[in-house]
Structure formats: structure tokens, C-alpha cells
């Protein structure tokens, strides 16, 4: 049913659709400091993978550290609210050790939307013209090709 994650990472033909990241949860209420509770918190952000040793053995109770698989469209909330049985609201603070850059235009990880090479330029020109320009002469590719050609020429002469 679920493929091991290493298989996904090794498959370079498909762009990554989810990436595992370490997330720290602060102010976790005692009631939620269980395998089930931490999974519940983590599943708000993505697919929980595992937690670090100290979290599992409860040797460090100031924060819980969980590895979560996040998607391209993941939001990164800094706090999460949980309703406890007694009617109390618990607020868990979330700290991200790393936020993987992802492009929602291309639906993939690897770079941010701001650095997207496929995103149409924001100019006054009609959409159709923008698309033709982007595919015909990609300025990035053109520059790289020219740089390579120049260095080759200088080596020969």
C-alpha cells in the first residue's frame, strides 16, 4: 500500500512531490505527548514519518521533534490549536528547522516560485505572447550556452 520513502527519493525521473523535514513542537500538552498524540499534531502538517530518540523516550520534554513528509503546497503555520478533552484549548508552537523551497506553479520541489524558470514573466504583454517567448528563447539557457561557447573558444586559441 505505502511505498518506502527511499524508493521515492531514488526515483529521479519524477519530480519530488513530498519532502521529509524535521519539525519541532513546543508547548506540547502532557495528554498529547504520546505516539498517537504526536502523530495527531504532525498530521496537521503532513505525513508523520518518525520522531527522534529523545522525543520517543521523553528524555527532553521542552520540545518534541518529529520528521514529517510535506507536500509542495504545504503551509507552514507557526502554531496549531487542539481541543483537549476537558474543553481546554492547547496551542502547540511549531518550529521548522528547514522549509524546502517549492514551486506551486510547476508543482514540484527544488526551487521557490520566485525563482521559477517556467513562470510567465509579469509584463503587460498578452499571455499567449509570453508563453511563446518563454519556450522559444529561455534567457537562462541562452546565457549558459553563450558562456560555455566563449570558454571553449578561449581554451582553443
Q: Which residues bind Zn ion (CB under 5 A)?
A: 103, 105-106, 116, 118
Q: How far from 34 is each of 1, 43, 94, CA to CA, in Å?
A: 25, 14, 17
Please identify, using beta-carbon distances, which residue of 79 and 118 lies nearer to Zn ion.
118
| C-alpha to C-alpha distance for 21 and 76, rounded to whole angstroms | 12
Q: To the nearest whole angstrom, how small is the minimum distance from the Cβ of residue 12 to Zn ion?
A: 18
Please identify, using beta-carbon distances, which residue of 70 and 92 lies nearer to Zn ion.
70
Q: To the nearest whole angstrom, how small is the minimum distance from the Cβ of residue 76 to Zn ion?
A: 19
3-class secondary structure, 88: coil
Please identify, using beta-carbon distances, which residue of 40 and 116 lies nearer to Zn ion.
116
133 Cβ contact partners less than 8 Å away, ≥ 6 residues apart:
121, 125
Strands lying side by side in the sheet with 63-71 = 47-51, 63-71, 18-26, 89-96, 79-83
90 Cβ contact partners less than 8 Å away, ≥ 6 residues apart:
27, 29, 31, 32, 81, 82, 83, 84
Please identify, using beta-carbon distances, which residue of 16 and 80 lies nearer to Zn ion.
16
Q: To the nearest whole angstrom, how small is the minimum distance from the Cβ of residue 113 to Zn ion?
A: 6
Please identify, using beta-carbon distances, which residue of 16 and 106 lies nearer to Zn ion.
106
Which DSSP category does 58 fall into? T
| C-alpha to C-alpha distance for 95 and 27, rounded to whole angstroms | 11
Q: To the nearest whole angstrom, how small is the minimum distance from the Cβ of residue 105 to Zn ion?
A: 4
Q: To the nearest whole angstrom, how small is the minimum distance from the Cβ of residue 107 to Zn ion?
A: 8
Amino acid at each position: 500500500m505505502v511505498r518506502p520513502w527511499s524508493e521515492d527519493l531514488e526515483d529521479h525521473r519524477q519530480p519530488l512531490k513530498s519532502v521529509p523535514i524535521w519539525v519541532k513542537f513546543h508547548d506540547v500538552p502532557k495528554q498529547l505527548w504520546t505516539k498517537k498524540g504526536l502523530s495527531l499534531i504532525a498530521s496537521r502538517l503532513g505525513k508523520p514519518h518518525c520522531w527522534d530518540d529523545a522525543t520517543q523516550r521523553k528524555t527532553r520534554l521542552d520540545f518534541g521533534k518529529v520528521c514529517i513528509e510535506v507536500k509542495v503546497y504545504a503551509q507552514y503555520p507557526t502554531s496549531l490549536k487542539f481541543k483537549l478533552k476537558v474543553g481546554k484549548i492547547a496551542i502547540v508552537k511549531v518550529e521548522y528547522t528547514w522549509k524546502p523551497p517549492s514551486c506551486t506553479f510547476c508543482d514540484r520541489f527544488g526551487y521557490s516560485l520566485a525563482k521559477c524558470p517556467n513562470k510567465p514573466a509579469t509584463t503587460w504583454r498578452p499571455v499567449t505572447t509570453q508563453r511563446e517567448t518563454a519556450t522559444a528563447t529561455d534567457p537562462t539557457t541562452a546565457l549558459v550556452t553563450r558562456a560555455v561557447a566563449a570558454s571553449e573558444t578561449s581554451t582553443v586559441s
